[in-house]
Amino acid sequence: MSSFIIGVTGPMGAGKTTLCESFREQGILIIDADGISKEVFNNSPEYVELLTKEFGSEILTDGRVDRKSLADIAFLSKENAQRLNRIAHPFIVKRIKEKLEEAKAQKIKVIAIDAPLLFESSLDRYCNVVVTVISDLKVRKFRAINRGNIRKEDVINRISIQPTDEFYVKNSDYVLYNNRDKEALCEQARSLVAEVMEKFNEE
């Protein structure tokens, strides 16, 4: 029996991390695309070289790529974000596929891929179902700004270049609305896992 793979996505500040924490508590293995991005960044000289060629020496600090400087340029516009994604996605997808194979070899039943750019990287093709978390724009801005690790103007800019809620809804099998508290989302997550496990056991 193969593993059942859930793709988790949604716009910034919607609650993907909270959803995946609930999934993890229910025994689901989480593959974190953002974490893998950092791993690739720190362990692939080829990746860093390509970034430097694409975005120039202004992303360098003391000879190393400064992640904040790169983000400032990459998220300045949708075009720049696409330039970054064209370089980053092959490296990230390759590592995620390796992790999926490792998990399947360990006979792990259910795996979730937490990927903000699930569709853009075509990772959705490896998923049995796709789950999107969305919430009102005002709520998302508030959450993202109050994390404390990103400036308000950067939050607004990043949100502005992301797909619309309609795009996520149209391309997802499940949509969870996260305008309330953490427990409300976790309750939706538990119901979803019960349904997914039923599907898995039927296959």
Per-residue pLDDT of 144-195, as tens digits, reads: 888 867 888 888 888 989 999 999 999 999 999 999 999 999 999 999 999 8
* pLDDT of 54 over the 90 cut: yes
Residue 9 pLDDT:
97
Could you give the percent of the chain with pLDDT greater than 70?
98
- Percent of the chain having pLDDT more than 90? 67
Q: What does each C-alpha distance from 33 to 59, 64, 94, 135, 142 come to in angstroms?
A: 22, 22, 11, 21, 23
- Spatial distance between the Cα atoms of 199 and 54, rounded to a whole number of angstroms: 44
For 125-139, the pLDDT digits (tens) are 999 999 999 999 999
* Mean pLDDT along residues 64-71: 84
Q: Which residues contact 84 (CB under 8 A, 6 or more apart)?
A: 51, 54, 55, 70, 74
**pLDDT of 26 over the 60 cut:** yes
Task: Report the relative pairing of strands 60-61 and 64-65 from DSSP bridges.
Answer: antiparallel
Binning pLDDT at 50, 70 and 90, where does residue 202 land? low
Q: What is the pLDDT of residue 48?
A: 87
Are 121 and 115 contacting, i.e. CB atoms less than 8 angstroms apart? Answer: yes
Element (H, E) at 89: helix 78-105
Tell me the pLDDT tens digit for each residue of 76-94. 889 999 999 999 999 999 9
pLDDT at 148: 67
Q: Decide: 6 and 24 in contact? Cβ < 8 Å.
A: no
Per CATH, is 4-202 categorized as 3.40.50.300? yes
Q: What is the mean pLDDT of the chain?
A: 91
What is the rounded average pLDDT of the residues 45-68? 86
pTM of the shown model: 0.91
